[in-house]
Amino acid sequence: MSDDATNKEDFLSQATSVVVENASNDQFGVSEMAGALNMSRSTLLRKIKSTTNQSASQFIRQIRLEIAMELLKETSGTVSEISFKVGFGSVSYFIKCFREQYGYPPGEVGKREVDKEVHTGRNTSGKFSIRMALVATLLLMIMVALFRYGRYWSTPGNPEVLVEKSIAVLPFKNESSDSSNLYFVNGLMESTLNNLQKIKDLRVISRSSVEIYRNSDKTIREIAEELQVSYFIEGSGQKVGDQVLLNIQLIDAKGDRQIWAEQYNRKLVDIFALQNEVATKIAHAIEAIVTPAELEQIKKKPTDNLVAYDFYLQALDPFYSRTNEGLLNSIELFDKAIDADPEFALAYAHVAMAYYLLEMFQADKKYTDQINAYADKALLYDPKSAESLTAKAFYYIQIKEYRLALPHLEKALEYNPNSSLAVQMLADFYFRLVPNANKYLEYALEGVRLNVAPSDSVTKSYIYLQLSNALLNLGFIDEAYKYINLSLDYNANNYYSPHLKAFILFARDGAIRRTRNLLFREWEQDTTRLDILQDIAKMYYLEYNYDSSYVYFRRFVDTRKRNGLAIYVEENAKIALVYAKMGLTNEAAELFHDFSTYCDRDQSIYHSVNMAVKYAYEGKIDSAIAQLNIFSESDNFQYWFLLIEDEPIFKPLKAHPEFPIVMQKIKDRFWQNHDRIKRSLEERGLL
């Protein structure tokens, strides 16, 4: 054997060993592989290409799939379990890659006895024999480690379901030398995205997930792997006088080949017809089913006034900034659009949403009338617009008429099945406004499906934060721990993830002192964090350390009042008890009065348990027990309500003979629901 051949085999052995050792790590990619082999990324790419005629990412994926094949043959693990064990973050993408590699889905491995060389389509040269021998040796070690020591989340879905019609609209390029023309080109991209989002048969990646590729030098295949999509739309354009120049192409990500392209030179007055034509041609090219109702939505012209439309496009970038300055700037521009066209529904809707976002968490609401007026105008001029419906939902949330907000959000998602905003709002709705742990998890999972982003994305970090919180609320503690770590892996500076992680650990073992220390560590980095401050106070409260609890509750209450914030009112009974223990009778009475008012208005599933807290505080033991019995018949409540038996306010209830019985009923109810929702989500492929 020549020295060159020996060197290649040595390199392959080392490279394969590194990949196998890291097979279960879905964060392990080309850069990590280069680091492990002590070589530059460019050197690794060159050596992999010359030795295997593959890219480095293909090489890594192929080894993962080889391990998966062996696991499927030799173990009883499900397809989704094994997909995660070999580093695939998405079950559907694993199935897609497996089918491409072997010619059939992983669910059929047990039914087939087919020669491996035929299925993989590889040559049988010595280098692959050596490689497979090494894989076989290391695989045994990996399998033992995974199944004996590994704690992985099983996410079985339907192994035959493939998301084939998934698409990402990449940021369009501005071909004009005038940088101020960028907003117009962004508007072309936005309209293409919005039109495609209305097609239920497509999975359309959100704007935030594709924005990071605006100046990226990554290849189509690399982006496709990160976004887990089958198709891409690329475009470039400019506005020259009254002409619109647009170049657009549809790319098959699998083969990195163009399957449709068009060059347009149209009058500006034809821009809406152009946008509709682009959307329908793309849908036709990938054989997406477009219903008559969806086609009607796509063909709808937002305005006949091009001046109004130009102001609208200018307003979008500051609107999406979500900063106060950006929102105020967008309102000014949207209003100019409305002045030019008083029937411009999209502009009205965006003004309403901007006003809502400006004071989302403020107790003193100044813009309620404006939100309502603009939302009503939006619905008047376009009642079937997802934006109009979302705007009206924001108004109902503003005035705390949550039950009226829900049908508007659900209808918005019906008109725009890929609306990331509607999904995020529904997740928040079921977490914060009308708590329903089952629905919260469902929409958090849907948010992950629509908001795909690469490993360095801040956006994905926050999406995984929400998913982790949703999982925790349903008692999936180990799974929540996995995703909060992913959230921190994606963005170590995530503002909220360390806070949640402290409580995931608390849910796991109930270590109050450790939890408090973790909270202190985060709070000391930013002492304006009222969310952490009141949690520190509660940690002392749970230990009946009222003196220390008072120090932090006092600071929290004073800051909340000084800033006019309507937050954590549901905790006022706890705070009142602490104040009462400190002899502050009048202030305790005021806090408890606010809590009682909150209970009277509460329409959530937690009304009965809040009433139990109220009665327990007042010493009405039998009434408190009766309310707990009502709560024990509830479904979809959060994990934390299993811990209320250790609540200091409930200490007087512990001597009541029914207290342990009702607490057991609450626990049984929760875990029955936990098992039921797990089965339901698994059957629908959401877990």
Instruction: Give the separation between CA 446 and CA 481, rounded to whole angstroms.
Output: 19
Higher pLDDT, 274 or 649: 649
Residues 199 and 266 in one domain: yes
Q: Is residue 125 part of a domain?
A: yes
Residues 7 and 141 in one domain: yes
Cα angle: 234, vertex 240, 245; to 5 degrees: 30
pLDDT > 80? residue 460:
no
Residues 128 and 177 in one domain: no
What CATH number is attached to the domain comprising 57?
A: 1.10.10.60
Residues 144 and 173 in one domain: no
Read off the pLDDT of each residue in 243-262 and give the average, rounded to a whole number: 83
Secondary structure percentages of the chain, helix, strand, coil, to 5: 65, 5, 25
Kindly tell me the number of DSSP H helices and DSSP E strands found in the chain: 32, 6
Higher pLDDT, 183 or 353: 353
pLDDT > 50? residue 302:
yes
pLDDT interval class at 74 (50, 70, 90): low
Residues 131 and 28 in one domain: yes
Q: Is residue 109 part of a domain?
A: yes
Q: What proportion of the chain, given as a percentage, has pLDDT over 90?
A: 32
- Containing structural domain, residue 186: 166-301
pLDDT by residue (tens digit) across 86-135? 887 666 677 778 877 888 888 777 655 444 433 444 343 333 333 343 33
| pLDDT at residue number 183 | 75
Q: Is residue 218 part of a domain?
A: yes
Read off the pLDDT of each residue in 510-522 and give the average, rounded to a whole number: 93
Residues 278 and 180 in one domain: yes
Residues 173 and 252 in one domain: yes
pLDDT interval class at 53 (50, 70, 90): confident
Q: Which of these three, 95, 120, 148, is where a domain ends?
A: 148
Q: Rounded to the nearest 10 degrees, how much is the dihedral formed by the CA atoms of 187, 190, 195, 196?
A: 140
Nearest to 471 by CA among 453, 448, 454: 448
pLDDT > 90? residue 573:
yes
What CATH number is attached to the domain comprising 181?
A: 3.40.50.10610
| pLDDT at residue number 165 | 79
Number of domains in the chain: 2
Residues 170 and 137 in one domain: no
pLDDT interval class at 579 (50, 70, 90): very high
Given a contact cutoff of 8 angstroms between Cβ atoms, the answer to whether 203 and 196 are in contact is: no
Instruction: Give the separation between CA 446 and CA 374, rounded to whole angstroms.
Output: 29
Residues 184 and 120 in one domain: no
pLDDT by residue (tens digit) across 164-207? 578 888 888 877 766 666 777 777 777 787 788 888 888 887 77
Q: Is residue 338 part of a domain?
A: no
Read off the pLDDT of each residue in 401-410 and give the average, rounded to a whole number: 90
Q: Is residue 263 part of a domain?
A: yes
pLDDT > 60? residue 150:
no
Q: What's the mean per-residue pLDDT of the chain?
A: 81
Higher pLDDT, 11 or 345: 345
Higher pLDDT, 236 or 657: 657
Q: Is residue 318 part of a domain?
A: no
Read off the pLDDT of each residue in 523-546 and give the average, rounded to a whole number: 93
Read off the pLDDT of each residue in 621-627 and give the average, rounded to a whole number: 96
Residues 52 and 144 in one domain: yes
Residues 12 and 121 in one domain: yes
Q: Which of these three, 148, 181, 207, is where a domain ends?
A: 148
Q: Which of these three, 148, 178, 201, is where a domain ends?
A: 148
Q: Is residue 387 part of a domain?
A: no
Residues 215 and 106 in one domain: no
- In 148-214, where do the E strands start and end? 166-169, 173-174, 203-204
Q: Is residue 93 part of a domain?
A: yes
